[in-house]
């Protein structure tokens, strides 16, 4: 086998940082270094934490749907031009995502721009209580524009849906429940004039004549039940006209669809019941603005809710001309003046478009005032982990219950003697053991006992080692307790060190 490793391992070792100093270049020397493992762990921990935090803020960071009636939309039905224009006029414009603070409900006007008629707006208004609201009703049914072949398009544009693209007027009676009837003027006057309820100077040119496409206005004299019957008759007429055209195209004779006889029999009874009941009086809503005698901006009865029926007065379509832009700001100023809110302030609500205020435990932990507590907990956890990392290492080997080998046997015997209280009774034998160790280190091991004692005594006198071995042996042998025994044992260790110190000239003389 090649001691340098395979060609792939050598190439990988040369291309990665942190290569080991081993002669063999391999994956173990490159990938499994402590710095690499710790770096991977920290990166994974940071990525996991970022995933958790972003998951908590997912709804807040979600983008508004394109091509809808939102304050960020650049489509024809969007309100980005309106909000930008107000900011240029030094208005304080914000976005809200649902329930607002109590002190803002009476001081700041909130603008709702639903994309379609729905009952969800009723629940939102009830949750706000006595807040001051401006509802801009939807008019066009649109979707995100996907450019077709040979067609130019831009991101954020919208395309009309359902034929003409107009919302069904019968759906508005649920937004809110006391909303008056909405009608559309198919052929508005080319010389339409705008009239406000209070004659004030608004910077709006008197020569401005808005050009509307199917003006949408309030009918304060018709009930929804009557208007529903009218719409039903119009739909039946449209169906009959379509059947007649299809029959003429096929060359067949057109016959009008016969009515159900059962319905005709029950109809007189229903009419008599309606005549018996007196019609309820219509709500007396306050008209704020009219266009050629048609109410466009009203305040609902006994509320602080203002409703604008024609969204083309303030959306992107209104900014085709300078007069349209001035009219949009004049409408907002009229509502602010009538409601007595803070001047030049307005909030656009985006909760009806799916961007709601998000509340969860993760967001609560990473936002003030609980952010400080979360950071303290993380710091404490990091310190505990670091302490545990430094304290615990490789697992310790289990200690055997009995001695193994001569050294362990001697150690075990010493422990037994200590337990039995006999350790201080072996002083003389311990001193002789130390003397034999000194003789072995000095090379006197092969000599006779008498010759060895003579050489050691001579060396002790020559080196002037005090106290002498004889005194130490007699003292440790007569030690009264274990503490004195330990003291003399240390003195014998010092005597051994003094006897075995390096002295070349004297050692040669001894030899």
Q: What is the pLDDT of residues 91-131, one digit of tens each?
A: 999 888 776 666 667 788 999 999 888 888 888 888 777 78
In DSSP terms, which residues pair with 230 in a beta bridge? none
Integer CA distances (angstroms), 337 to 172, 313, 458, 484, in order: 27, 18, 120, 103
If DSSP codes are grouped into helix, strand and coil, which group holds residue 142? strand
Residue 142, both tokens: 């649109």
Assess whether pLDDT exceeds 60 at residue 268: no
If DSSP codes are grouped into helix, strand and coil, which group holds residue 47? helix
Which H or E element spans position 308? strand 305-308
Assess whether pLDDT exceeds 70 at residue 230: yes
- Comparing 9-13, 61-65, 157-161, 505-509, which segment has the lowest mean pLDDT? 505-509
Assess whether pLDDT exceeds 80 at residue 342: yes
In the numeric block, the tokens 């205020």 are attached to 357
Residues 6 or more apart whose CB falls under 8 angstroms from that of 134 comprise 109, 110, 111, 112, 305, 306, 307, 308, 332, 335, 346
Assess whether pLDDT exceeds 60 at residue 84: yes
Which carries the bigger pLDDT value, residue 157 or residue 288? 288
In DSSP terms, which residues pair with 93 in a beta bridge? 346
CATH 2.30.30 fits 61-145+154-223+282-357, yes or no: no
Pairing assessment for the beta strands 133-136 and 305-308 based on DSSP bridges: parallel
Q: What is the pLDDT of residues 274-313, one digit of tens each?
A: 555 666 778 889 999 988 888 999 999 888 899 999 999 9
Distance from C-alpha of 106 to C-alpha of 304, rounded to nearest angstrom: 10
Q: What is the pLDDT of residues 254-263, one digit of tens each?
A: 777 666 555 5
How is the chain split into domains, by residue range? 61-145+154-223+282-357, 232-257, 405-510
Chain Cα centroid distance, residue 413: 67
Residues 6 or more apart whose CB falls under 8 angstroms from that of 297 comprise 287, 288, 289, 306, 307, 308, 309, 331, 334, 335
DSSP 377-428: HHHHHHHHHHHHHHH--SPPPPPPSS--HHHHHHHHHHHHHHHHT-GGG-HH
């Amino acid at each position: 086998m090649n001691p340098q490793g395979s060609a792939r391992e050598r190439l990988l070792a040369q291309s990665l940082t942190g290569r080991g100093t081993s002669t063999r270049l391999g994956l173990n020397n490159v990938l499994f270094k402590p710095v690499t493992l710790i770096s991977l762990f920290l990166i994974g921990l940071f990525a996991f934490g970022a995933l958790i935090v972003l998951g908590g803020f997912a709804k807040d960071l979600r983008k508004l749907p394109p091509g809808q009636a939102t304050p960020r939309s650049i489509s024809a039905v969007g309100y980005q031009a309106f909000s930008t224009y107000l900011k240029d006029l030094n208005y304080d414009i914000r976005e809200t995502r649902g329930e607002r603070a109590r002190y803002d409900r009476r001081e700041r006007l909130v603008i709702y721009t639903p994309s379609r008629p729905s009952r969800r707006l009723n629940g939102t208004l009830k949750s706000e209580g006595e807040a001051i609201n401006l509802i801009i009703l939807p008019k066009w049914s649109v979707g995100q524009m996907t450019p077709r072949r040979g067609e130019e398009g831009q991101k954020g544009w919208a395309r009309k849906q359902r034929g003409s693209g107009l919302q069904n007027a019968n759906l508005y009676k649920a937004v809110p429940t006391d909303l008056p009837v909405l009608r559309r003027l198919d052929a508005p006057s080319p010389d339409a004039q705008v009239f406000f309820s209070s004659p004030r100077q608004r910077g709006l040119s008197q020569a401005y004549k808005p050009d509307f496409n199917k003006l949408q206005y309030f009918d304060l004299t018709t009930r929804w039940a009557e208007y529903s019957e009218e719409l039903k008759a119009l739909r039946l007429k449209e169906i009959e006209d379509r059947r007649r055209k299809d029959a003429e195209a096929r060359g067949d004779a057109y016959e009008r669809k016969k009515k159900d006889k059962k319905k005709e029999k029950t109809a007189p009874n229903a009419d008599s019941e309606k005549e018996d009941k007196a019609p309820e009086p219509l709500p007396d809503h306050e008209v704020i603005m009219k266009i050629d005698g048609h109410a466009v901006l009203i305040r609902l009865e006994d509320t602080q809710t203002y409703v604008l029926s024609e969204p083309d007065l303030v959306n992107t379509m209104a900014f085709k001309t300078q007069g349209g832009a001035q009219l949009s700001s004049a409408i907002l100023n009229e509502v602010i003046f009538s409601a007595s809110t803070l001047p030049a302030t307005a909030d656009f609500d985006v909760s009806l478009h799916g961007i709601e205020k998000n509340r969860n435990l993760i967001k609560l932990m990473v936002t003030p005032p609980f952010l400080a507590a979360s950071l303290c907990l993380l710091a404490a956890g990091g310190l505990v982990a670091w302490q545990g990392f430094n304290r615990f290492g490789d697992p310790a080997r289990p200690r055997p219950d009995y001695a193994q080998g001569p050294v362990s046997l001697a150690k075990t015997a010493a422990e037994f003697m200590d337990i039995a209280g006999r350790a201080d009774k072996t002083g003389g034998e311990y001193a002789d053991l130390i003397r034999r160790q000194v003789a072995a280190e000095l090379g006197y091991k092969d000599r006779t006992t008498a010759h060895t004692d003579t050489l050691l005594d001579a060396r002790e006198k020559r080196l002037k080692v005090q106290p002498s071995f004889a005194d130490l042996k007699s003292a440790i042998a007569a030690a009264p307790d274990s503490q004195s025994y330990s003291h003399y044992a240390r003195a014998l260790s010092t005597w051994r060190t003094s006897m075995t110190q390096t002295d070349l000239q004297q050692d040669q003389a001894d030899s």
